[in-house]
Amino acid sequence: MSVALKRPEGLIKCAARLHAPSRAQASSPLRRQQLRTAVTLPELNKDRDESGRKRVVILGSGWAGYTIARRLDPRKFQVVIVSPRSYFVFTPLLASTSVGTLEFRTALEPVRSRRNKFDFFQGWADDVSFKDKTISIEEAVADPRQSLALTAGDAQEVKNEQEEKKEDIEKTRKGKLFEMKYDKLIVAVGCYSQTFGTPGVKENALFLKDVGDARRIRNRLLTCFETAALPTTTPEMRKCLLNFAIVGGGPTGIEFSAELHDIITEDLARIYPQLMPYYNVTVYDVAPTVLSMFDEKLSKYAISTLSREGVHIRTSHHVESLRRGPPEQYKDQMKDGLSCWTLKLKEEGEIGVGMVVWSTGLMMNPFVQKALDGVQQMPVEGITWGRSKIGAGNERWKVMKNEKTGGVVTDDKLRVLLHPEGGSGEKVERAVMEDVFAVGDCAQTLDTLYPATAQVASQKGEWLAKHLNDDDIATTKGFHWKNMGVMAYLGNWNAILSSEQGNISGRVAWFIWRGAYLTKAVSWRNKLLIPMYWAINWLFGRDISRF
């Protein structure tokens, strides 16, 4: 016999009062922000007006933008991130995720989280009005390009004409636009992958700048091995399918080639032993050496280590094109003619490849190229004018750009600089926008040449957030980058490390490399998951399922 117990009504009301927030707590701006699950512009505007907080709009959720958003004081600022990605990518781990050493989620941190005290709109920055202090945003929730390098084309699968036409419509369809006011604007939109206009690269190569790219690489790698294992595949076709080319001899290209070699020799060699005579991993670079940012001894050590492991290094090589299909000499031996690609090199001619990973540099973001390129009307307040103290009546001013990179030029306090239309050179009149900042790869500090790395972007974000919180941007000393060193993984538990304290190579550098990336992981969730996956994959091998 069951007895239904009934709670006294008074106890229920008492418990509700205990767990319910007080009226003061519920009405405070910060408390409302923590409780809010959906946000609209009218709600944001009302919250800003009632709380008196200044709105800081951050364009981008990368190393600089995400760092600033997490560090800004929510009691002083209403922080809003605008980005086409709803997450932050821990880019140093992408090479590991692309081969299954780590899972994709370990390289991600969600922008929307109960731990984060800022708002977010998923969209592209389309235009900006400095005079009205408004930013125009294009919604990007359904954008098919998100999670991929912004120059990559989907060339992995054969599509019929109807599917290609439908995809083209999706890619060209423009999202709805809306405007949002700001009190302070931080431009941290990052850069695109540079292809140098090489024919076929944008459409056929794979990149390694986002999690979607890593997923494509992992799928393509396993596709090559599965296709090569079929009994209908000829030896010539196997050589093409299992020939992997990495273009770019920087840290990203070298680390990916090392990770690729690891998965082939440690896992795939046990599953496809009959295919091991056919595989080949080659790194191509136009420079006379790879890893040029390292000490010469470390660079030579990296080349000798990779060569000893079977990774071929081809320096002073120039890529002329990349097209779908096999080289001409193998055309009759390919069963479908579309299973591989042809990489044309100036020095070697045409070679068949199963996958090309492109990692050669950066090109400027179109928002910086277009939206920040025209002549704008300037506000009367919020600008420090140059030597002649003119400007309030002169509306022919432009955002200052670096002549080589095209990036936004800032002063040493990361504030965007202006110059008169048609003016250039060191002696040109300059003005400083006190409420507009630029950080990360899309910006360059005046008279300095900091490298376009995650380390520099993160340090700029930390510096800017600290001094915005302290409200001493105008009086503090300018930003100065502290070089914490540069690392690269070489495979088989070897790495190199170059820092001001000295150079380290081999197994010790590998331990430092893993320890540094583990400590730099943002959330405790990933700090726990990363070593867990390292241990699981070391004990049981990498998961090579295709999904």
pLDDT for 229-260, tens place per residue? 999 888 999 999 999 999 999 999 999 999 99
H helices of 229-321, in order, are: 235-241, 251-263, 269-271, 296-309
Instruction: Record the tokens describing residue 370, joined without a space.
Output: 């277009």
CA distances from 104 to 107, 114, 211, 216, 529 (A): 6, 21, 7, 12, 11
CB 247 within 8 A of CB 320: no
Average pLDDT, the chain: 85
User: Who's near 82: CB < 8 A, 6+ residues apart?
Assistant: 57, 58, 59, 60, 120, 121, 123, 125, 135, 137, 180
Phi-psi map region of 150: left, alpha, beta (phi>0 left; psi -120 to 50 alpha):
alpha
pLDDT at position 427: 58
Rounded average pLDDT over 517-539: 94
At 371, the pLDDT band (50, 70, 90 cuts) reads confident
In this model, does residue 419 exceed pLDDT 60?
A: yes
Instruction: Record the tokens describing residue 173, joined without a space.
Output: 């369809």
Q: What percent of the chain has pLDDT over 90?
A: 64
**58 or 375, which is more confident?**
58
Distance CA 533, CA 101 (A): 7
* Beta strand segments in 299-430, E: 311-314, 319-324, 341-345, 349-353, 355-358, 362-364, 383-384, 397-399, 408-410, 415-420
Please name the amino acid found at residue 220.
Answer: R
With CA atoms as reference, report the closest residue to 224 among 253, 195, 245, 203.
245
**515 or 49, which is more confident?**
515
Summarize pLDDT for 462-473 with one digit per residue, the tens.
999 999 999 999
User: Who's near 437: CB < 8 A, 6+ residues apart?
Assistant: 184, 185, 186, 187, 410, 414, 415, 416, 464
With CA atoms as reference, report the closest residue to 415 among 336, 364, 474.
474
Backbone angles phi, psi at 150, to 5 degrees: -80, 0
The domains of the chain, with CATH numbers, are 37-152+173-193+361-483 (3.50.50.60), 195-359 (3.50.50.100)
pLDDT at position 140: 86
Instruction: Record the tokens describing residue 312, joined without a space.
Output: 């071929």
**421 or 350, which is more confident?**
350
In this model, does residue 518 exceed pLDDT 60?
A: yes
Cβ atoms within 10 Å, residue 352: 22
In this model, does residue 4 exceed pLDDT 60?
A: no
At 144, the pLDDT band (50, 70, 90 cuts) reads low
Q: Which of 217-221, 379-383, 433-437, 477-481 has the lowest mean pLDDT?
A: 379-383
**342 or 335, which is more confident?**
342
pTM, two decimals, is: 0.86
Rounded average pLDDT over 202-226: 95
pLDDT at position 414: 97
pLDDT at position 373: 83
Summarize pLDDT for 271-330 with one digit per residue, the tens.
999 999 999 999 999 999 999 999 999 999 999 999 999 999 999 999 999 999 988 877
Query: Could you tell me which residues are beta bridge partners of residue 283?
Result: 246, 313
Tokens 């502290």 belong to 482
pLDDT at position 117: 87
| Torsion sign (Cα): 15, 21, 24, 25 | positive
At 422, the pLDDT band (50, 70, 90 cuts) reads low
**101 or 43, which is more confident?**
101
At 47, the pLDDT band (50, 70, 90 cuts) reads confident
pLDDT at position 19: 41
Query: Could you tell me which residues are beta bridge partners of residue 83?
Result: 122
Instruction: Record the tokens describing residue 475, joined without a space.
Output: 């009086």
Q: Which of 22-26, 317-321, 399-403 has the lowest mean pLDDT?
A: 22-26
pLDDT at position 44: 87
**Angle CA 48–52–57, to nearest 5:** 50
Q: What is the dihedral of CA 452, 458, 464, 468, to 10 degrees?
A: 150
Cβ atoms within 10 Å, residue 536: 13
Distance CA 87, CA 107 (A): 10
At 449, the pLDDT band (50, 70, 90 cuts) reads confident
In this model, does residue 78 exceed pLDDT 70?
A: yes
Q: Which of 16-30, 170-184, 236-250 has the lowest mean pLDDT?
A: 16-30
CB 227 within 8 A of CB 233: yes
Name the packing angle between helices 524-540 and 507-520 (round to 10°): 140
pLDDT at position 110: 94
In this model, does residue 444 exceed pLDDT 80?
A: yes
In this model, does residue 170 exceed pLDDT 80?
A: no
| Torsion sign (Cα): 345, 348, 353, 356 | negative
In this model, does residue 424 exceed pLDDT 80?
A: no
**477 or 500, which is more confident?**
477
Distance CA 510, CA 488 (A): 9
Rounded average pLDDT over 390-406: 74
Cβ atoms within 10 Å, residue 320: 14
